[in-house]
Amino acid sequence: GKQYDIQVQRYRCKNCGKLSQTEFHDEYGPYSNFSKETKNKTVKIMRLDSISLRNTSKIHKIFSKIKISHESVRSSVSVHNKLYYVNDDVELSGYYGYDEQWAKISGTWKYRYVLFDIINNVPITEILNDTVDEELVKSFIKDNIPPHKRKGIVTDMLNEYDGIMNDLGFDHQYCILHFIRNVSKKITTHL
């Protein structure tokens, strides 16, 4: 609920002209004026009863003493659309499951990214995306699990997951069901 005014130096590459800046913390996205927690609250406020952008802005000012323009509210909602879910009510255990699933929506394939807290037996967050690649998976997990809450994670046996989970600081384990299926398939093929 505290507001800080910070000026950040941006740098322009002399070769390509691209701007960059120092990243603050996992709680803030690049070039973001508001924390991910504030953006998640914005989404929850708007879901209460289809509250308008301007009224959502006023609610932030009254209860959090944070002045957010209605355009920043619109930006938060467009990034975290109806297909995005975060469970803020759970105290993260440090042990998770991650998976991607395919879902066909209106004739188009979407990818559902899901993080699950294994100890608490609850979903943490999920989102539907049009594509799937290593960087999207990495940023999805990094954005939703703070570094001090990363102990262990279970995934299926995609080779890419080893590098992602090691970079994020997890002890990585393969799903036993997937492991048994793969071993059985290889044994059957061999026999």
Quote the mean pLDDT of the chain. 81
Residue 156 has pLDDT above 70, yes or no: yes
- In terms of CATH architecture, what is 85-183? 2-Layer Sandwich (3.30)
Give the model's pLDDT for residue 9. Answer: 77
Give the model's pLDDT for residue 61. Answer: 83
Residue 74 has pLDDT above 70, yes or no: no
Give the model's pLDDT for residue 62. Answer: 84
Q: Would you kindly state where each structural domain of the chain is located, as residue ranges?
A: 10-81, 85-183
Alpha-carbon distances of 179 from 118, 162, 173, rounded to whole Å: 18, 15, 10
State the Cα–Cα distance between residues 140 and 153, nearest whole angstrom: 14
In sequence order, which residues have a C-beta less than 8 Å from that of residue 151 and are 6 or more positions away?
93, 94, 95, 170, 171
* pLDDT 10s digits, 13-68: 888 888 777 666 666 665 566 777 777 777 777 666 667 777 888 888 888 777 88
Alpha-carbon distances of 40 from 107, 144, 151, rounded to whole Å: 29, 11, 24
